[in-house]
Chain A
């Protein structure tokens, strides 16, 4: 991807903050698309409300602007500084994750405890815990170096960090987020050089956790059974999948046009988990295909950056960041398209939700700085 066009573009951008044209493009396009889609997906809410002013859409707009500014600012911050503050950040996040389990929130769906209320806003600590975990694992890989091949290091120390983050999230319960985070953790440990069988051992240890979670939470069991039955039961958990399918089919190749989708009136959470279906109805295959390509491009660019970074900390940061963003995006799209069981997971950058958007933009900012210090960044 380090094509001539890329170099040409980078050469014409100002020196500050980032000079990676791909990351810059994605950092603007994805949140901006999210603002537009969330506004469209919230039309049912606006029409039902007394006022035309739509608080959440405006919030999303402000957060996108804040997020872009945050990413650009962080791109100028030397990522090496994070290695020292990573343990503190992780501990802080773990406290927040455990604390959220004791918050009584009557408005939460499925009786899950996932949010803190801060005035008008809700903060979802698991989103920021992902950032802390990625940084922490990268820092540990740097620290342990070759010792990563020891079972104690790979599974007990690094795997332990993953478990510390994942377990409170399972308890919330938010199995979808837990699985994504665990996956990212294992990818990072593997990329750091751990032995494959250590990782398989770690995965095996997660199976009982997932089993207990599914059996203890009736909605998870229902979702899984609905998925396994292959029969989208319109009235129950298969409802969302069926409505999403109708939305995407109705969109065809070019879509009905912005704001003209009708399925958002029937999808359960059109502005969050199912925003991809709204995109599919209003922009068709062109829209969903573009988003798929953008996330693939982000992943490829991240791997390129990792390959061009000699420093272990930076390399693993790049891998962890793009894996985190792209795997979550993949799971969200797979859920909407019925490829995996329904789980409540957002589409990074695009879905409504400040915590998710800001956490994603922080990751982008860090990635931009890694890119800047890599061979890719220096070569221009």
Chain B
């Protein structure tokens, strides 16, 4: 018996020696690495402001309702707690009870991002002792106080995958400036117990997070509101399906307002079932055929090369056959011996075909390239697309395409590309890079201005001034011109493009648009109105022109642009 005891003690003693002495170093190292965990600390995300420092997006302190199922199991009834919580938070009691009813857990999340009344109600109930095992943990929530206003500029955020609670911009400025807004996460490394809690006598090191910077936009809240309101009104009035209004300052490239319909509420993204068409930023992420608004580009090219002058005359037949394809004026009328001004006035397709044919395909496409079509403008918004331009020599380009391209068909652009290109005409021939952010304010308060940048000179100053005069003259010749704004000189061009679908143009539906700028004394506001599939009217002149006029007159009033003096 004694022998057995000594033998048993010997085996145990050998094992003790093996672990305490022989394997000590390896086991100590294994223990040290198993204990230590690193977890990142989420930084505070910077805010997004409009140009007058009005808040468009801000991260606010919130609370997260967290349950300790084991504690609930030991002290009370999970169903009772679930009933109380779901009544306070308007949740499904059964699913809350299911989460709280698993006593093998010490942590389960019931609700996150809670602010205001519901948060206060839960806090009161906890203080009152009604919710044992339930606590509030700090949380952050992204708030968009103006709801849908400028949704496509501001964008929205979602949860990242790098670490729990990571916030990542998913669209618009939130995505483009994600690194600026997001800051840098901190790091805490500490020894933890088996429930993930810090061991007080263990190692501990903290590297605090660097909070995100704030982004100040060029968007003017009032102008943005005007754009949204007028777009909504036009869509309503004409029974359209969608649309875009883009308001920029052509002298700086700043975007002052950018409205799309349909739209979404960035604060409620989680409630959408899918990322439907309301999430598309039509201004720079979707393309369309610009139609007659593009005639300005063709005309600018002709003037800049010197192939035409405003008083160049040409017969404008109702129909021409260009390399085997027939092209018609929209009214199919023939205008004999017309100047280039009346080409614009009548929006004659055969007239612009004449211009494009005169300068030739090489020149024509070189100017299209210079005006930035087919490449991204470089705007600071996520998801910009380059559009589609086929040049001579490209696959799918045929000789008649020069004719259709000259009046904006067979070429696909984004509204922002068109506004940027027309902006060059307004800005004495220099095209400015469009941008929506004007400044970044670091968390410490240091403000860095984002300077406006020219992309390039596209046409000469003379060409630009000449073209503006032609546009003004052509507009004044239009009978009952709905784009006219009493008291102000503006210049612009209508556009009506057919919608191509499966290789055919759809009957009785169009994209009606108008692009223009003013005041002509020193153009500093440019607006592009695009209304898709209006039901009550067809032409840009009927659908988009009046909206342009209303937008511009309200913007001029807001910016205190003085009306012209002298005779109206």
B16 touches A246 (CB 8 A): no
User: Given the known A-B contacts A289-B13, A334-B12, are A246 and B20 also in contact in the complex, defined by CB atoms under 8 Å?
Assistant: no
Closest 9 CB pairs of A and B: A249-B27, A265-B193, A285-B20, A246-B31, A248-B19, A337-B15, A250-B28, A265-B199, A252-B24
14 example contacts (A-B, Cβ-Cβ < 8 A) are as follows: A48-B197, A106-B73, A107-B74, A246-B34, A249-B30, A251-B24, A259-B201, A260-B201, A262-B202, A265-B191, A280-B19, A299-B5, A326-B5, A337-B19
A249 touches B26 (CB 8 A): yes
In whole angstroms, what is the CA distance A248 to B21 when docked?
9
B193 touches A285 (CB 8 A): no
Which residues of the partner chain A approach B35 to less than 8 Å between Cβ atoms? Answer: 262, 266
B20 touches A333 (CB 8 A): no
Question: In the assembled complex, how far is the CB of residue A154 from the closest CB belonging to chain B, in whole angstroms?
Answer: 18
In whole angstroms, what is the CA distance A263 to B19 when docked?
15
B23 CB within 8 Å of chain A: yes
Which residues of the partner chain A approach B307 to less than 8 Å between Cβ atoms? Answer: none
Interface residue ranges, A against B (CB under 8 Å): 43-44, 47-48, 106-107, 187, 191, 245-253, 259-260, 262-263, 265-266, 268, 280, 284-285, 288-289, 292, 295-296, 299-300, 303, 319, 326, 330, 333-334, 337-339
User: Given the known A-B contacts A303-B2, A334-B12, A339-B11, are A248 and B20 also in contact in the complex, defined by CB atoms under 8 Å?
Assistant: yes
Among candidates B6, B8, B24, B197, residue contacting A249 with C-beta atoms closer than 8 Å: B24
Question: In the assembled complex, how far is the CB of residue B354 from the closest CB belonging to chain A, in whole angstroms?
Answer: 80
A285 touches B17 (CB 8 A): yes
B162 CB within 8 Å of chain A: no
Q: Report the nearest A residue to B203, measured CB to CB.
A: A262
In whole angstroms, what is the CA distance A5 to B200 when docked?
46
Question: In the assembled complex, how far is the CB of residue B4 from the closest CB belonging to chain A, in whole angstroms?
Answer: 10
B19 touches A245 (CB 8 A): yes
Binary per-residue interface labels of chain B (16-48) against chain A in the complex, 1 for a CB within 8 Å, 0 otherwise = 110111011111101100110000000000000
In whole angstroms, what is the CA distance A248 to B26 when docked?
11
Overall SS of chain B's interface: helix
In whole angstroms, what is the CA distance A268 to B13 when docked?
24
In whole angstroms, what is the CA distance A176 to B27 when docked?
28
Which residues of the partner chain B approach A44 to less than 8 Å between Cβ atoms? Answer: 193, 199
Question: In the assembled complex, how far is the CB of residue A92 from the closest CB belonging to chain B, in whole angstroms?
Answer: 31
B12 touches A248 (CB 8 A): no
B20 touches A249 (CB 8 A): yes
B194 CB within 8 Å of chain A: yes
Which residues of the partner chain B approach A247 to less than 8 Å between Cβ atoms? Answer: 31
Count B interface residues, CB 8 Å: 36
B9 CB within 8 Å of chain A: yes
B31 touches A251 (CB 8 A): no
A246 touches B30 (CB 8 A): yes
B15 touches A339 (CB 8 A): yes
B12 touches A333 (CB 8 A): yes
B479 CB within 8 Å of chain A: no
Which residues of the partner chain A approach B202 to less than 8 Å between Cβ atoms? Answer: 262, 265
Which residues of the partner chain B approach A280 to less than 8 Å between Cβ atoms? Answer: 16, 19-20
In whole angstroms, what is the CA distance A101 to B30 when docked?
42
A249 touches B28 (CB 8 A): yes
Among candidates B9, B20, B192, B194, residue contacting A284 with C-beta atoms closer than 8 Å: B20
In whole angstroms, what is the CA distance A31 to B221 when docked?
77
Question: In the assembled complex, how far is the CB of residue B325 from the closest CB belonging to chain A, in whole angstroms?
Answer: 72
Which residues of the partner chain A approach B73 to less than 8 Å between Cβ atoms? Answer: 106
Question: In the assembled complex, how far is the CB of residue B387 from the closest CB belonging to chain A, in whole angstroms?
Answer: 55
B12 touches A339 (CB 8 A): yes
B205 CB within 8 Å of chain A: no
A253 touches B8 (CB 8 A): no
Question: Beyond A246-B34, A253-B20, A285-B21: 16 further Cβ-contacts under 8 Å?
Answer: A191-B1, A247-B31, A249-B19, A249-B24, A249-B28, A250-B28, A252-B24, A262-B35, A262-B191, A265-B194, A268-B194, A280-B20, A303-B1, A330-B8, A337-B19, A338-B15
Which residues of the partner chain B approach A339 to less than 8 Å between Cβ atoms? Answer: 11-12, 15
In whole angstroms, what is the CA distance A187 to B357 when docked?
114
Which residues of the partner chain A approach B13 to less than 8 Å between Cβ atoms? Answer: 289, 292
Q: Which interface residue of B5, B191, B193, B197 has the most chain A CB atoms within 10 A?
A: B5
Question: In the assembled complex, how far is the CB of residue B36 from the closest CB belonging to chain A, in whole angstroms?
Answer: 10
Question: In the assembled complex, how far is the CB of residue A199 from the closest CB belonging to chain B, in whole angstroms?
Answer: 14
Which residues of the partner chain A approach B23 to less than 8 Å between Cβ atoms? Answer: 245, 249
B24 touches A250 (CB 8 A): yes
A285 touches B5 (CB 8 A): no
B16 touches A337 (CB 8 A): yes
Which residues of the partner chain A approach B30 to less than 8 Å between Cβ atoms? Answer: 246, 249
A296 touches B6 (CB 8 A): yes
In whole angstroms, what is the CA distance A295 to B6 when docked?
11
In whole angstroms, what is the CA distance A260 to B191 when docked?
13
In whole angstroms, what is the CA distance A247 to B74 when docked?
30
Binary per-residue interface labels of chain B (173-206) against chain A in the complex, 1 for a CB within 8 Å, 0 otherwise = 0000000000000000001111001011110000
Question: In the assembled complex, how far is the CB of residue B9 from the closest CB belonging to chain A, in whole angstroms?
Answer: 5
Question: In the assembled complex, how far is the CB of residue A38 from the closest CB belonging to chain B, in whole angstroms?
Answer: 17
Binary per-residue interface labels of chain B (223-243) against chain A in the complex, 1 for a CB within 8 Å, 0 otherwise = 000000000000000000000
Question: In the assembled complex, how far is the CB of residue A297 from the closest CB belonging to chain B, in whole angstroms?
Answer: 10
In whole angstroms, what is the CA distance A106 to B27 when docked?
37
In whole angstroms, what is the CA distance A72 to B21 when docked?
39
Q: Which interface residue of A191, A247, A326, A333 has the most chain B CB atoms within 10 A?
A: A333
A288 touches B20 (CB 8 A): yes
In whole angstroms, what is the CA distance A251 to B27 when docked?
10
B193 touches A300 (CB 8 A): no
In whole angstroms, what is the CA distance A285 to B6 when docked?
18
In whole angstroms, what is the CA distance A216 to B31 when docked?
35
Binary per-residue interface labels of chain B (384-399) against chain A in the complex, 1 for a CB within 8 Å, 0 otherwise = 0000000000000000
Which residues of the partner chain A approach B20 to less than 8 Å between Cβ atoms? Answer: 248-249, 251-253, 280, 284-285, 288
Which residues of the partner chain B approach A106 to less than 8 Å between Cβ atoms? Answer: 73-74
B53-90 interface with A by 8 A CB criterion:
73-74
Which residues of the partner chain B approach A249 to less than 8 Å between Cβ atoms? Answer: 19-20, 23-28, 30-31
Q: Which interface residue of B13, B20, B191 has the most chain A CB atoms within 10 A?
A: B20
Which residues of the partner chain B approach A326 to less than 8 Å between Cβ atoms? Answer: 5
Question: In the assembled complex, how far is the CB of residue B103 from the closest CB belonging to chain A, in whole angstroms?
Answer: 9
Q: Report the nearest B residue to A296, measured CB to CB.
A: B9
In whole angstroms, what is the CA distance A250 to B19 when docked?
9
B15 touches A250 (CB 8 A): no
User: Given the known A-B contacts A248-B20, A330-B8, are A266 and B194 also in contact in the complex, defined by CB atoms under 8 Å?
Assistant: yes
Among candidates B12, B28, B191, residue contacting A252 with C-beta atoms closer than 8 Å: B28
In whole angstroms, what is the CA distance A353 to B38 when docked?
36
Q: Report the nearest A residue to B35, measured CB to CB.
A: A262
Among candidates A107, A250, A337, residue contacting B12 with C-beta atoms closer than 8 Å: A337
Which residues of the partner chain B approach A338 to less than 8 Å between Cβ atoms? Answer: 15
In whole angstroms, what is the CA distance A265 to B2 when docked?
38
Question: In the assembled complex, how far is the CB of residue A233 from the closest CB belonging to chain B, in whole angstroms?
Answer: 14
User: Given the known A-B contacts A249-B23, A249-B26, A262-B201, are A300 and B2 also in contact in the complex, defined by CB atoms under 8 Å?
Assistant: yes
A245 touches B27 (CB 8 A): yes
B28 touches A292 (CB 8 A): no
B201 touches A250 (CB 8 A): no
Q: Report the nearest B residue to A307, measured CB to CB.
A: B2
B16 touches A288 (CB 8 A): yes
In whole angstroms, what is the CA distance A256 to B30 when docked?
16
Which residues of the partner chain A approach B11 to less than 8 Å between Cβ atoms? Answer: 339
In whole angstroms, what is the CA distance A248 to B27 when docked?
8
User: Given the known A-B contacts A251-B20, A265-B193, are A292 and B12 also in contact in the complex, defined by CB atoms under 8 Å?
Assistant: yes
In whole angstroms, what is the CA distance A161 to B24 when docked?
46
In whole angstroms, what is the CA distance A224 to B23 when docked?
25
Q: Report the nearest B residue to A44, measured CB to CB.
A: B193
Question: In the assembled complex, how far is the CB of residue A104 from the closest CB belonging to chain B, in whole angstroms?
Answer: 15
A250 touches B31 (CB 8 A): yes
A262 touches B31 (CB 8 A): yes
A292 touches B16 (CB 8 A): yes
Q: Report the nearest B residue to A334, measured CB to CB.
A: B12
Which residues of the partner chain B approach A268 to less than 8 Å between Cβ atoms? Answer: 194
In whole angstroms, what is the CA distance A111 to B178 when docked?
51
In whole angstroms, what is the CA distance A285 to B19 when docked?
9
In whole angstroms, what is the CA distance A32 to B133 when docked?
36
